[in-house]
Amino acid sequence: KLTFAAAQVVLLLGVIEDSYRLAYHDQLTELPGRRALDEALHTLEGEYTIAMIDVDHFKRFNDRHGHKAGDEALRMVAAELRKVKGGGRAFRYGGEEFTVLFSGATPKDSREHLEAVREAIADRKFAIRAPNRPRKKPNRPKKPSRPVRLISVTVSVGVAGPNARSSTPDSVLRSADRAMYRAKNAGRNRVVTTGDTRAAKR
């Protein structure tokens, strides 16, 4: 009976751990997910910056290259966001949107780090996987019959920090989201800060 009870406890702990991982961790990008972001937002105080990042023309990309290529693009963007400097923490917001939080940093402090990530994403090329490509690499790989097609994506970034009009993390997040749409309306592949009249491409 004791052994059976111990096995049940171990099983229950495993289920709890899996549930926690699924709730707080995005499986596709391996970034913390929306619930982890919601909790992190409510720990922010003092100076901080929130950036909203959206992959440009993502629906068009999926329609042209397929959903598997779309997943590859999201993983690539996540990998670059994970490298952001300045103390930034990246999260998967949902769909093709991501969020980066900078605790203890102003939008002015954070902007150069976001610009660097935006440039890295725009410069990075990745190959479209052929539909008949084997899952495991063969011992003697065949030479491709046609050239490998390299593609890239860009992102639009909106940046905001707390001020008199947006004093809570939730309202700052909404301000960052509006700034991100301004970046898209100004031509995409750029960083726009709330209150910034400069929307020129960097």
Q: Which whole-number Å values give the CA distances from 115 to 95, 106, 159, in the listed order?
A: 22, 15, 11
**Which residues are CB-contacts of 104 (< 8 A; sequence separation ≥ 6)?**
46, 47, 48, 87
- The active-site residue out of 17, 47, 96, 115 is 96
Q: Rounded to an integer, what distance in angstroms lies between the CA atom of residue 166 and that of residue 104?
A: 17
Contact 77, 60 (CB under 8 A): no
- Identify whether 45 is a catalytic site residue: no
171 strand-pairing partners: none
100, β-bridge pairs = 51, 90
Q: What is the set of active-site residues?
A: 96
